[in-house]
Structure 1
Amino acid sequence: MTPTEQKAPPQGLVIDDLSKIRKAGTPLLSPDDRFLAYHVAVADYDADERYDLIMVTPADQTAPVTIARGIAHGWSPDGRELLYETANGELHIYTVSTAASRLLTRRSESAYFINHLALNNCIWSPDGQSIAFVGADVPEAPEPAVRVIDDLLYKSKGGRGRPIYADRAQTHIYRIPAAGGAPEPLTSGPFNEHSTTWSPDGRYIAFVSNRTDRPDDIQQSEIWKVDIHSKAITPLSDHRGLAYQPAWSPKGGHIAFLATPGQTGTNDSPAEDTHIALIPADGGQMRYLTKSLDRRIEHLRWHPSGKYIYFTAGDRGDTSVYRVSIENNHIETVQGGKGCISEFCLTAQGEDMVFIKSNTHFPPELFRTKNKGAVVEPVTQENAAWLSTKALQPADPFWFESFDGMQVQGWLMKPVAFDPSRKHPLILVIHGGPHNMFGHDFDERFHLLSQAGYAVVYINPRGSHGYGQAFSKGTLMNWGGGDYQDLMAGVDYILAQNPWLDADNLGVTGQSYGGYMTNWIVTQTTRFKAAVTDGGLSNLVSFSGTSLYHSLMESEFGGRAYDRFDLLWKWSPLRHVVRVTTPTLLLHGETDNEVPFTQAEEMYIALRKKGVDTMLVQYTGEGHGWRPELGPRNKADLNQRMIAWLNKYLTL
């Protein structure tokens, strides 16, 4: 074989591949199991936008049909029609037999941010005659020359196509005939309602609302119901905490919902793990069903019999489907294994399901079970063709003992061009939250870094969910304390176990809370030769007064920020910036109200004045993080800059 005929070395994920990734999501089986609707998230680099395609396919998995761009809300009770919404808020109904859609109405959303688990959902009535939706009356008004602020949650999330400031609109529940007509308001007043579920008899809609005397300050919410005829509203729960995503039982006797206890809540990243709570449909004593699992619960679904509730929970890097008996609280795993199941729906009889799963090797795809879960088959293979040409490294899990004996989990991914005879640089990647969880999920950053020649280590330090409530609370009053020591102990362990890693050739990066921790790390040690902070915090004192999530500081540090300034400053990277020598790149969205751009500016100015090699990159009009509002081109630019910065200071 001549040199020109030699086979090219295998290639992992490169920047151009980001435009090829298609992520399946939101499976919706029709009530008769004949049809399946789902989404495919697409990154359109030519238009520099992201959008979801709504797909409908017969359950036998013949060729799917793309019906629109937008989100699917649900099937009619007879399974003949699908309610969906386009990006401009238009609600349409798609008829399967004619493959045609008709416009129902247009709804508006308030820019007021409630919390990440609040659902602005649209639901069919049990008889299929009407549709309830959550909407807001948003007046068309020009940008004011003078903005008068007299509430606390006056900022929105920001980002592409989103306003920077919240409006004064309230979110309420409306009902409209499915055949068309004028929407009828079912609720009103100075409150926000969201996350609706219809009673099986069609008489009531249950919902979530924060009706405390200071809803912009006190993060507590309860379950309520409205009579669709009299419009009388009745409180159902009284647990003094946060309630999310109620679901009425099939026979109407109960309402299940996700809940957290506690007097100090937050609209973002609570340390308290959500659990399934159950109340009688007429209100009364609440009881928790899933406390024995000691994991964070999401995505609850009733079994058609009403005897079980199915749900997902993260556990040591995997996310599986479980079910709990409402009679005796017995919990069992229904669908698990290595990987992360993010969403699912049950078949009409409840014996099988369709679910979304991802792994370190593939983005989210659709799967379905048969024969009561005995057989699992792929439904979509959106990424199979291009992934077949790639050489993606696996991520190998490991456990280590931290400074205080705590057992902590992490993963190591080798570089694509791994050579055991030579030393390889290592990049520590840190997750956000702080209560997120790394695991067997597809993360583009890991594979981009692996292809660029780096080994990647990622760890779930204390504060991460998936290891029990005590572990989730590991950051309280202690950001940058035990979690920092966990990360350093994990790096020490993996270096000791793998002599092919170069201990003198380390980099660190993270996003959001991971960005905070990156900033913190460079103030605590000089062992890293380069750092990249993506949307990170630097000053917890100023963050507590400028972030959309000012309640996060109160929740994490046990009280009002003005009573905790000394503690907040103690754990602020900016306080210790005099120690920094590590070259640091700061990447940040211009309209980020979750972690305001000023957090990057404060760190940048301090590093620049100190003479540290640093650069600040602002993404115009972008909000926070790796969410859809970050345009595909900007996301590619962000990744290119991350790799280029590491390449500048580390030896490959």
Structure 2
Amino acid sequence: MKENKTGNACFSALEWEQVMQLGEIALSPDGLTLAFVRSRRSVEQNCVIDELLLTATAGGSTICIGKGTSPVWHPNGLSLFFEQEENGVPFIWQYHLASKEKKRLAPVYHSDYFLGHLADKKFTISPDGRFLAYISTPPPPAVTGHPAIVVVERLLYKTRGGRTRPLFADGGYSQIWLLPLEGGVPLMLTTGNYHHYSPCWSADGRHIAFICNRTDNPDYNHRSTLWTVAADTGVIQEVAAHPGTRFKPAWSPDNLHIATLVTASELSSKDSPADDTQVYITNVETGKDQCISAQLDRRADNLCWHPGAQAVYFTAGDKGATNIYMAGLNGEVKPVVTGNGLIKEYCMDGSGTRLYFIRNAVTLPDEIYVYDANTGRERPLTDLHAGLLARCGFSPAETFWFASHDETAVQGWLMKPGGWRENVRYPLLLVVHGGPHNMFGFEFEERMQLLAANGYGVLFINPRGSHGYGQAFSMGTLLNWGGHDFKDLMAGLDHVIQRHSWIDENRLGITGQSYGGFMANWAITQTSRFRAAVVDGGISNLVSFAGTSLYHLLTEAEFGKPWDNYSLLWQWSPLCHVKHVRTPALFLHGERDYEVPVQQAEEMYTALKKLGVPSVMVRYMEEGHGWRPDLRPLNRLDVYSRMVQWFDKYLL
């Protein structure tokens, strides 16, 4: 096993390859078998492999039935539907549990148009088991070559980038299709130049709820609203118009209401909204809306109706932990499953008694657990990382609170270096989250573990703008990226230095990805206390970002119309203050990043070079934004390796 700088067993590249991501959990109708997706890295093949696993809910062995994603059970429980590529084309497949046979059913063509982070393209099966509804564009036309001239007429013409996506979005629109499971060809149920997604069947099987932006110029706003389409006639009807944005409909078991996630502001964003999503229920007959989660004042996700139709379950982040809550139709919210960890996904049995959920914690990668409402107890159902945990010691993190510059209470976490010893002083790295409305907390974060394993203390904080602390806190970055949030970070840094003598305040580094990269850029223009910075996919110029990013409405939602606020955008741009930088900086960026275009790194890098500040830019030619799981593990390893080497060079 690799030894770290202090001579203790650590989280190395070899162990990193063995950390698996779990997701897309689905319980069989009889409640006896759980299907889920395991994503594992293969450094040797330089790819991520998605596999379908089945495990008995009573306990026992877990089996892999092959590659695939998006598992959905047939109502009779005899077969499982999933998506798997063949010759580069995704297909819907059916797996028969008794015979273990797989049958290919229909191709799926995914549009590269950015629908939003909460858009759902999963399959859904009618209650009677006759039809499978799925999202696909019509079959694309044959490619005749690479055009030398591209004519652009749409505003949102870029994709999210990466090696698996083309440069520009295709002209296809996502439609709802019906696949007859008793035989027959797929039928396109919706039509028109709009994207339809997040389908959900009504309890009586007559309608499908979905999300769609049917305004005149959907590229110019994020007013996605709730609609239904009749399964037999294709008649479409808007259920609830709302000035904000809706996501993820869930139809109640009694057929009376549809629950959705809703942001309230008219000028919202489907990428990283300041508005916390709330749980709304809409009366299907009257269209009347009711928010039932406001009592909690947190950001909701992952909706699921109780089988009795008297409550909606959801996840929400709260002070660094992501838990499961229950909201009654009267608006009373109660915690259901809580603890210091991150619950990613969950599902419920037919009686509403048991919840099966995927959770990780600071020192524990993803596993599946089961919660019994009758006893109030939970237990682990899988133990997929047992071997890794036996070989490798992960670093715990201690949470703390401090008063910021204006006495606002802010939460942070401090992780000691691997092999920490008394009377030894260590360098400290401040890691900033993205968003800006993401949330750090009690989750397993491989970047933190790798940095700690290499002899660094790691500090991470939820400054103003983070979710998990209420709507007012989430909106703390509006009009001033680098204002209160930066002061929060510096106050937290001062707090831990004053209280922990092992921190060497002369050996401080900063890093962050996306908005965290923006903050790393901003910090080195505002202070010289950091001796090294690693900027990962970061923003440097809000003026150019507003006109070139796929997320054009993010800037608008945070700062207003760019042409009315160019001076404000420039004021809060790191590039505006770049002449003050003395900190050596490493810029890591995906060449095909259209969320934060690579020119953002180039502008900052060029300025530092001309100023004589030590700087290096690394451009990953096939990568998009955020080193997503479907990309190449060797590139992500390279990112981590260069990050550690840069800090070693300037902090050790």
TM-score by length of 1: 0.97
Distance in 2, Cα, partners of 1:21 & 1:352: 27
Q: Which moved more, 1:219-228 or 1:142-151?
A: 142-151
Distance in 2, Cα, partners of 1:348 & 1:280: 23
Deviations 1:107-135 (A, max 9, x none): 10111111110111211111001111111
- The one-letter code matched in structure 2 to 1:153 is L
Distance in 2, Cα, partners of 1:296 & 1:626: 25
Distance in 1, Cα, partners of 2:224 & 2:286: 15
Q: Which of 515, 518, 522 is the equivalent residue of 2:517?
A: 515
Does 2:50 match 1:49?
no
Distance in 2, Cα, partners of 1:105 & 1:373: 44
Distance in 2, Cα, partners of 1:14 & 1:295: 36
Deviations 1:128-180 (A, max 9, x none): 01111111023232332211111110000011211121111011111011133
The total of aligned residue pairs comes to 642
Q: Which residue number corresponds to residue 203 of structure 2?
A: 200
Does 2:622 match 1:621?
yes
Distance in 2, Cα, partners of 1:451 & 1:13: 6
Q: Which residue number corresponds to residue 477 of structure 1?
A: 479
Distance in 1, Cα, partners of 2:23 & 2:270: 24
SS, match of residue 262 in structure 1 = coil
Q: Write out aligned runs for 1:173-212 (5 A).
A: 173-212=176-215
Q: Which residue number corresponds to residue 579 of structure 2?
A: 578
Q: Which moved more, 1:87-96 or 1:202-211?
A: 87-96
Distance in 1, Cα, partners of 2:66 & 2:105: 15
SS, match of residue 159 in structure 1 = coil
Distance in 1, Cα, partners of 2:510 & 2:584: 11
Distance in 1, Cα, partners of 2:373 & 2:230: 41
1:320·1:337 contact (CA, 8 Å) conserved in 2? yes
Q: Which moved more, 1:425-434 or 1:415-424?
A: 415-424
Q: Write out aligned runs for 1:262-281 (5 A).
A: 262-281=265-284
SS, match of residue 391 in structure 2 = coil
SS, match of residue 145 in structure 1 = coil
- The one-letter code matched in structure 2 to 1:16 is L
2:128·2:205 contact (CA, 8 Å) conserved in 1? yes
Deviations 1:30-79 (A, max 9, x none): 11102110111101111111132111223233322222212133111111
Q: Which residue number corresponds to residue 222 of structure 1?
A: 225
Q: Write out aligned runs for 1:287-366 (5 A).
A: 287-326=290-329, 328-366=330-368
Q: Which moved more, 1:374-383 or 1:603-612?
A: 374-383
1:314·1:320 contact (CA, 8 Å) conserved in 2? yes
Q: Which residue number corresponds to residue 3 of structure 1?
A: none
1:23·1:382 contact (CA, 8 Å) conserved in 2? no
Distance in 2, Cα, partners of 1:622 & 1:15: 20
Distance in 1, Cα, partners of 2:187 & 2:375: 43
Distance in 2, Cα, partners of 1:298 & 1:263: 20
User: RMSD of aligned C-alpha atoms?
Assistant: 1.2
Distance in 2, Cα, partners of 1:373 & 1:384: 26
Does 2:62 match 1:60?
no
- Percent identity between matched residues is 44
Deviations 1:449-484 (A, max 9, x none): 111111110000000000000000000001001100
Distance in 2, Cα, partners of 1:478 & 1:367: 41
- The one-letter code matched in structure 2 to 1:265 is S
Q: Write out aligned runs for 1:189-588 (5 A).
A: 189-326=192-329, 328-370=330-372, 372-557=374-559, 559-588=560-589
Distance in 2, Cα, partners of 1:73 & 1:610: 54
- The one-letter code matched in structure 2 to 1:536 is G
- Flag structure 1 segments of 5+ consecutive residues without an equivalent: 1-7
- The one-letter code matched in structure 2 to 1:81 is S
Q: Write out aligned runs for 1:600-619 (5 A).
A: 600-619=601-620
Q: Which residue number corresponds to residue 171 of structure 1?
A: 174
- The one-letter code matched in structure 2 to 1:362 is L
1:352·1:369 contact (CA, 8 Å) conserved in 2? yes
- The one-letter code matched in structure 2 to 1:122 is F
SS, match of residue 594 in structure 2 = coil
Q: Which residue number corresponds to residue 3 of structure 2?
A: none
Distance in 2, Cα, partners of 1:433 & 1:211: 27
- The one-letter code matched in structure 2 to 1:499 is S
CA drift of 1:329 comes to 1.3
Distance in 1, Cα, partners of 2:625 & 2:49: 17
Q: Which of 162, 165, 180 is the equivalent residue of 1:162?
A: 165
2:32·2:57 contact (CA, 8 Å) conserved in 1? yes
**Divergent runs of 4+, >6 A:** none
Q: Which residue number corresponds to residue 74 of structure 2?
A: 76
2:24·2:71 contact (CA, 8 Å) conserved in 1? no
SS, match of residue 89 in structure 1 = strand
Distance in 2, Cα, partners of 1:73 & 1:54: 8
Distance in 1, Cα, partners of 2:355 & 2:142: 43
1:195·1:245 contact (CA, 8 Å) conserved in 2? yes
Deviations 1:273-293 (A, max 9, x none): 001111112342111000110
Distance in 2, Cα, partners of 1:263 & 1:278: 19
SS, match of residue 220 in structure 2 = coil
Q: Which residue number corresponds to residue 593 of structure 1?
A: 594
Q: Which moved more, 1:373-382 or 1:100-109?
A: 373-382
TM-score by length of 2: 0.97
Q: Which of 123, 148, 152 is the equivalent residue of 1:149?
A: 152
